[in-house]
Amino acid sequence: MPKKHRLKKKKEFERVFKEGKAAKKDLLFIRFLKNNLETTRFGFIVSKKISKKAVVRNKVKRRLREAAREMLPKIKPGYDIVVVAQRGIEKLNFFQIKDNLKELLKKIDLQ
């Protein structure tokens, strides 16, 4: 995912969690907030509750990042989105994760 589409700073994540709206679908939880930019930025959280192994957590993050990157052209610009993975997501393949993310973005009317 291009750098301009990433949330990086702790303050950015905290702002989305504090002021943003939330939605949940199966194994994904999303917080989103309108920003004053022309781009949509994503942040991903995969906690140790998913797996104690960093390899597994990083694999889940890579799959989420790639799914979001493929959908970027169809997503409405001007939002900060934080995607939080829930237990069980490590068992899904890329296409199942992508479908879950797509359905969740449609649910909150960002796609």
CATH code for the domain in which residue 34 is found: 3.30.230.10
**Does residue 75 have a pLDDT over 80?**
yes
Enclosing domain of residue 65: 3-107
Q: What is the mean pLDDT of residues 81-94?
A: 94
Q: Going by C-beta distance under 8 Å and a sequence separation of 6 or more, which residues neighbour residue 88?
A: 27
User: Could you give the number of structural domains in the chain?
Assistant: 1
Is the distance from CB of 62 to CB of 27 less than 8 angstroms? no
What tens digit of pLDDT does each residue of 23-55 get? 998 899 999 999 988 999 999 999 999 999 999
- C-alpha span between 106 and 111 (Å, rounded): 5
**Does residue 91 have a pLDDT over 80?**
yes
Q: Which of the 8 DSSP states describes residue 76?
A: P
- C-alpha span between 76 and 17 (Å, rounded): 20
